[in-house]
Amino acid sequence: MKGNTKEDCVKVTDITGAMSVRVDGGKVVLSGEKCEVRDMFGDIVSLICCDGELKGTVLDLVGVSEEVYDKFCGSKAYMVNPQSGKGINVKPVAKKGVAEGNVVASAYLKECLSLKPNEKVLLCAYNDIVFTEVKSQNIDNIREDRLVMPLSDYERFIKSANGGCQLFELYNVHNQSSLIIKSSHIYGDKSLGAGTLKINKKQRTMLGLELPLRLSKSQWKKLTCTGDGVSGNKSESVGGKKVCSPEDIEIIKSVYPTADHVRERDVPFDVKRRAADIIESVCGVELRLIPVPEAYFRKKQRHFLKWLADKYVGKSTLSLLVQRPLENDEGQNVVRMTKSNMNLLGIDEMDKVILQHKNKRIRCRVLEFEDKEDFYRTNLPLFPGFAVGVPTHLRKLLGITDVNTIVKIDRDTGFIFRKSINNQILPVLLTLVSANLFIDKSVWISAALSVVAIPFVVYFNLSSKRNMRA
């Protein structure tokens, strides 16, 4: 593959207006041009940033003491640097050797927060909603990837407490997989009990609820812990906690045979269902819904040319799980997806797509995952149809700190429009000629007729592109 040309350089579009973070009256306040948000967070812990950096492939981890970690219980937090007025989502992890009042951050977080050694930072716990039971989605809500929650929680959390927020993040505490949902796609249902959520199968799979691609250390410990007197082939309760039977433990070990507890690629369907039931029974479900801070301050996008391209070409959108690309794609401004997903979007190879995560948006070209084995060489055994391979530098531009994050992908209608116009020079010229053939008396009438006719010619010639969408 040739190197990137100047035309292919990736430009990041930030659709968030000016936002700053400050501390006022013991509260962390987010401020924008038109509003302030004062009640997004609950408990706040003040810490000192240590000298040194937290190493690892996950960029948003912060190392804290066991005492501080216990306050967050594996949930996400918002870290604020009061000196720079910047904030960012982080995942606290317990790290040995870190004193109770200290925190160790990665180089990525220090760069984002303009953080220097020995500066004070604030670790803020979100006011969130916890879901411990997941039900299948109603058929009418599947296509739009809607989320349905108890009506009382919807009115309190979505409509009242976070009424101005346009985006929310739903994440799995056990594996940190997450997805972003528009507030307009969240609904309330008075028939649902507290802590119950309805999402579709694709969302459950991407959140690792069907059968996780990898078990966390805490999940593995729970699943392989044997209780005295437990026998037979079913999990039992010991001391108020679910414990796996010896037979269940063997099933889990057969599905996750590696030292880092990665799922076996080819698992029979009946074994998958049994393993999924065991994991849910012993480890439980813990999903949390939090507001996206930047979504309070999103700028309205009004571009006539984009509207025109969307109208003529037709919008097409997919949500896919971010994974690693092929090894030789690193450093290139391209993403990879399966041929079937390209067909669903209505694009060809080397067309451009728009990737969006929270408030960041980039345009880049797309290539096909031609061989599953190449995909599995750099990724966990996920079905490639759920995945989009994104190079590290593009993930950083989007603010994606780890794989297993869902992004929204649109085909770039502006690019397809320009590409199609280049192929329609001849039909446009024929339109101009035909206008003069029928009317010779007035140049102005011929010009007006051409101006009226050309948009129709272009629109009808782009019908094949509109029909390519799923």
pLDDT at 461 over 80: no
Average pLDDT over residues 117-127: 93
3 state DSSP class of 272: helix
**Contact predicate 236/230, CB 8 Å:** yes
- In this structure, what is the dihedral angle of CA atoms 383, 401, 175, 287, given to the nearest 10 degrees? -100
pLDDT at 53 over 70: yes
Going by pLDDT thresholds of 50, 70 and 90, the confidence category of residue 436 is: low
Mean pLDDT of the chain: 84
- Beta strand 36-37 with 27-31: parallel, antiparallel or unpaired? antiparallel
User: Terminus-to-terminus CA distance in the chain, angstroms?
Assistant: 30
343: closest CA among 319, 318, 321? 318
pLDDT of residue 18: 73
- Per-residue pLDDT band for 368 (boundaries 50, 70, 90) equals very high
Q: Which residue has the higher pLDDT, 39 or 237?
A: 39
With a cut of 50, say whether residue 21 has pLDDT above it. yes
Q: What pLDDT score was predicted for residue 303?
A: 76
pLDDT at 151 over 80: yes
Q: Give domain limits for the chain.
A: 6-12+300-416, 18-126, 130-289, 423-467
CATH classification code of 6-12+300-416:
2.40.40.20
pLDDT band at residue 467, thresholds of 50, 70 and 90? low
Q: What angle do CA 75, 145, 352 make, to 5 degrees?
A: 95
pLDDT at 366 over 90: yes
pLDDT at 218: 84
What confidence tens digit (pLDDT) does each residue in 223-259 have? 988 655 444 455 555 445 678 888 999 999 999 998 8
pLDDT computed for residue 152 by the predictor:
95
- Say if CB 179 and CB 406 are below 8 A apart: yes
pLDDT at 68 over 70: yes
Give the CA count within 13 Å in the CB-facing half-sphere of 160.
Answer: 8
**What is the per-residue pLDDT for 51?**
81
Range of weakest confidence among 60-64, 262-266, 418-422: 418-422
Q: What is the pLDDT of residue 164?
A: 85
Q: What is the architecture, at CATH level 2, of domain 18-126?
A: Beta Barrel (2.40)
C-alpha 148: how far from chain center? 19
> The tokens of 423 are what?
């192929």
Q: State residue 454's pLDDT score.
A: 64
d(CA 298, CA 361): 12
Q: Which of 224-238, 262-276, 451-465 has the highest mean pLDDT?
A: 262-276
- Top CATH class, 130-289: mainly beta
Question: Which of 463 and 184 is assigned the larger pLDDT?
Answer: 184
pLDDT above 50: residue 140: yes
* Percentage, residues of the chain above pLDDT 70: 83
Amino acid letter at 254?
Answer: S
What distance in Å separates the CA atoms of residue 174 and residue 283, rounded to the nearest whole number?
9
Tally the residues of the chain.
470
Q: Please check the confidence at residue 431 and state whether its pLDDT lies above 70.
A: no
Q: Which of 265, 268, 239 is nearest to 251 (CA)?
A: 268
Tokens of 178: 């997450």
pLDDT at 1: 44
Q: How confident is the model at residue 364, as a pLDDT?
A: 94
Report strand pairing: 167-172 vs 287-291: antiparallel
Whether 18-126 and 6-12+300-416 are alike in CATH topology: the answer is: yes
Q: Give CA–CA dist 91/10, Å, rounded.
A: 28
pTM of this prediction exceeds 0.95: no
Residue 146 has pLDDT above 60, yes or no: yes
pLDDT band (50, 70, 90) for residue 187: very high
